[in-house]
Structure 1
Amino acid sequence: MAFLRSFLGAKQIIRRESSSTPRGFMAVYVGENDQKKKRYVVPVSYLNQPLFQQLLSKSEEEFGYDHPMGGLTIPCHESLFFTVTSQIQ
């Protein structure tokens, strides 16, 4: 039950947007190699968080600075992404 609460909490903070990104937020694409990537909009303040920086390190290892989606791509399962971002709150 606690996992479900943290999962739902992450969904409230992370907003999916279709095309525009509001000021103070950035778009990230989340998904594993063979999985379709989903676009999420997260606060830029996440860049200073050690947990989020670990996801960024994983992204750098896999893609370097050439991201195929045109934006920041994080190569992990969505559930891991939600777990990490729910702990940032």
Structure 2
Amino acid sequence: MAIRQILKRSLSNEKRSTEVPKGHLAVYVGESEKKRFVIPLSYLNHPSFQELLCQAEQEFGFHHPMGGLTIPCSEELFIDLTSHLSRA
């Protein structure tokens, strides 16, 4: 499976789809410009992903500026991590 199929980015930044498939979670990723990704819930159990969640908690607490879970890392790092997780 290609990483682009796994992450299922939304079609445009202006019109974000609110539908998230069962067993998945929408997250916003990026240091300046935030992009929306839809990931499998199973990623939440992985220690590397949990580290990103801890960083999000430290930076945003329960207030996420995008209205959804925001992960404060580069898009490249996020794609590298999720690519690794999809092969595991």
TM-score interval, smaller chain: 0.7 to 0.9
Aligned residue type for 1:12: Q
Q: Which runs of 5+ in 2 are unaligned?
A: 11-15
Q: What does 1:38-77 align with in structure 2 at a 5 Å threshold?
A: 38-77=35-74
Give the TM-score taking structure 2 as reference length: 0.82
Corresponding position: 1:12 with 2:11: no
Pick 1 or 2: higher relative contact order, CA cutoff 8 A, min separation 6: 1
Q: CA deviation at 1:10?
A: 3.0
Secondary structure of the 2:66 match is coil
Choose which of 71, 79, 83 in structure 2 pairs with 1:86: 83
Higher helix proportion, which one? 1
Task: Tell me the alpha carbon deviations over residues 18-42 of structure 1, each in whole angstroms, 9 at most, x when there is no partner.
Answer: 311111111000011xx21000100
Higher mean C-alpha displacement, 79-88 vs 8-17 = 8-17
The DSSP-based 3-state class of the residue aligned with 1:39 is strand
Stretches of structure 1 that go unaligned for 5 or more consecutive residues are 1-7
Identity %: 56
